[in-house]
Chain A
Amino acid sequence: MPRPRTLRIGCGAGFQGDRIDPAVILAAQGRLDWLVLECLAERTVAAAQLRRLADPDQGYDPLLRARMVALLPLLKRSRCRMISNLGAANPIAAGRAVVAIAQELGLALKVAVVTGDDVLDRLDPDAPTLETGQPVREYGPLISASAYLGADAILPAIATGADVIITGRVADPSLFLAPMVHAFGWPLDDPKLLARGTVIGHLLECAGQLTGGYFADPGFKDVRDLAHLGFPFCDVEPDGNGTLGKVPGTGGAITMRTVKEQLLYEVVDPTAYVTPDVVADLGTVDLVDLGEDRIRVSNADGLSRTGTLKVSVGYRAGWIGEGEISYAGPNARARAELASAVLHERLHHDLPDLRIDLIGIDSMHRTCFGLAGDPYEVRLRAVASGHARALAERVGLEVEALYTNGPAGGGGARRWVSERVGIVSTLMPRDAVRSSVVRLSTGRPAAAGPASLPGTGDLAP
């Protein structure tokens, strides 16, 4: 198969609950080769694992159906293939769901599912966590252990010719790197090429955060038409350099500032950004503004991958109870502070980690750095954790009781209680993690081979 001159990869979701309409625009008008949906966060897999424990057919992304109904018909029409980690804790069930939706829509579709990220059965309970060095078993009853798979785990799925590739936990940039490695035939021991592809994947993985989302600061960093933010793509070249862009007419902007902010986003050490595929040095990247929402990204370098994979471990961490109530008008702050003292006295003995914030004063940064005076209204928020639901529930009940038992003029009380899932990380030797690929299809004659499917080629127009 001839190698393409460039490969256009778009990002149609940057987190689990992300908007669907920007992905629809990308799929319909972006002339993409690949659409990637990144739908997992640290906590998402463990929460999904709880749903799977309750129902063995669940545990994948709750928005899977809405995303597939909107996107599958467009993918077939646009000769574009999709990779997504929305399999979460149950990629096989997610793959079956995608096939069932395709059948409903009358589409012939081939799906490949990447499994092997679930390593709970071989997790060493004495493995030290990266956070504190304490063994994982000390945290609480374990729910999930998900290894971050790399591009190498996705390549066999791409090779099946599947239209849609579903994974569970995979390192976010690897979702983007895999189609580049496949299309350009990059060797998996070339750190420079892998670093370049990884940098592009890292820039794209949060979707709208590259095009002006999580960015606007009126009067300082203005963003045009933020309400209709377009999602990004990159035209990747065979040497791993590429040019970022978005569909003309969509809102937002790709500028040196948006790209720089995203380049360093969530990176603990910018000189050594560790993924399952490579250790990339982000300080080596060159960015050039080509105008009209086009930024060229080039010259990233890196070192060979490490011998271990990161594993995200979920555990049951008890319950969390919250309550909120507002005070407004003259002396609002003093009344909120009185309410706070009442709650503290009634709860702190049984709920020693009780935290009380005054929203409008100190809830976000624990101080206002001397920048603010007293606001007209204050919302009190109380929160604590408890080992049992009933204990955590007391927080909200005490806040609600302030209506009739607390300071004057308290209004708008709300309360919540929820089960808490904690996440810690550890490392596992690579050879302890085995990935594999499961092929599924709609079973129609058209799905028999790649030659008869419009959307399975590596080369898009």
Chain B
Amino acid sequence: MTTRIPDCSPGQRSRGTRLLHELAHCRAGDKGDTSILSLFAYRADDFPLLVERVTAEAVAAHLEHLVHGEVRRHVLPKLCALQFTCEHALGSGVTTSLALDTHGKSLSFALLAMTIETLENR
């Protein structure tokens, strides 16, 4: 499995910031009106940066157009993973939502579109 650091239009982001997509992978799941986003550091060395920057509050702010309820975070160090539980995120749930993506299957990449500051930039 190859992982390349992409050409990421340096003009669009200030120095010391990274697109989450470069650092982590993510899978979205759903239960009722709750979207569950599992975020995994590609490299264990980057996990502390994710823990520091990708907080429940930061995710709630980033996904403000989509998530209308509480965002909770679980930290799973054994898996280098963060699990985000986002309530009222699926337009009332997969069976009644008017959204095109009723399950929120694509929301993993909404989270990966988040920009975070690196730790040197504190």
The distance from the CB of A262 to the nearest CB of chain B, in whole angstroms, is 8
Contact with B along A346-379 (1 / 0, CB 8 A): 0000000101010100011111010100000000
**B1 touching A42, Cβ below 8 Å:** no
Classify chain B's interface size.
Answer: 35 or more
**A214 touching B27, Cβ below 8 Å:** yes
Residue A269 lies at the interface, judged by CB distance under 8 Å to chain B: yes
Given contacts A260-B79, A265-B38, contact A365 B4 (CB under 8 A): no
The distance from the CB of B41 to the nearest CB of chain A, in whole angstroms, is 10
- B1: which A residues are within 8 A, CB to CB? 221-222, 253, 255, 257
**A320 touching B98, Cβ below 8 Å:** yes
Residue A422 lies at the interface, judged by CB distance under 8 Å to chain B: yes
The distance from the CB of A388 to the nearest CB of chain B, in whole angstroms, is 16
Q: Which residue of B lies closest to A365 (CB)?
A: B110
CA distance A365 to B29 in the complex (A): 15
**B38 touching A264, Cβ below 8 Å:** yes
CA distance A194 to B65 in the complex (A): 40
- B106: which A residues are within 8 A, CB to CB? 364-365
Per the 8 Å Cβ criterion, residues 397-446 of A in contact with B are: 420-425
Q: Which residue of A lies closest to B106 (CB)?
A: A364
- B81: which A residues are within 8 A, CB to CB? 260, 264
Given contacts A270-B83, A359-B100, A366-B66, contact A43 B32 (CB under 8 A): no
- A222: which B residues are within 8 A, CB to CB? 1-2
**A219 touching B32, Cβ below 8 Å:** no
Classify chain A's interface size.
Answer: 35 or more
**A43 touching B95, Cβ below 8 Å:** yes
Per the 8 Å Cβ criterion, residues 82-108 of B in contact with A are: 83, 85, 93-96, 98-101, 105-107
CA distance A384 to B99 in the complex (A): 10
Q: Which residue of A lies closest to B21 (CB)?
A: A220
Q: Which residue of B lies closest to A421 (CB)?
A: B95
Contact with A along B21-37 (1 / 0, CB 8 A): 10001010111111010
**A355 touching B79, Cβ below 8 Å:** no
Given contacts A131-B33, A268-B34, contact A364 B101 (CB under 8 A): yes
Residue B3 lies at the interface, judged by CB distance under 8 Å to chain A: yes
CA distance A69 to B38 in the complex (A): 38
Residue A125 lies at the interface, judged by CB distance under 8 Å to chain B: no
The 5 sampled A-B contact pairs (Cβ below 8 Å) are A255-B1, A268-B31, A268-B36, A357-B99, A422-B93
- Interface residues of chain B, those whose CB is within 8 Å of chain A, are 1-4, 6, 21, 25, 27, 29-34, 36, 38, 40, 62, 65-66, 74, 76, 78-79, 81, 83, 85, 93-96, 98-101, 105-107, 110, 113-114
- Interface residues of chain A, those whose CB is within 8 Å of chain B, are 42-43, 46, 130-131, 214-215, 217, 219-222, 253, 255, 257, 260-271, 282-287, 317, 320, 353, 355, 357, 359, 363-367, 369, 371, 381, 383-385, 420-425
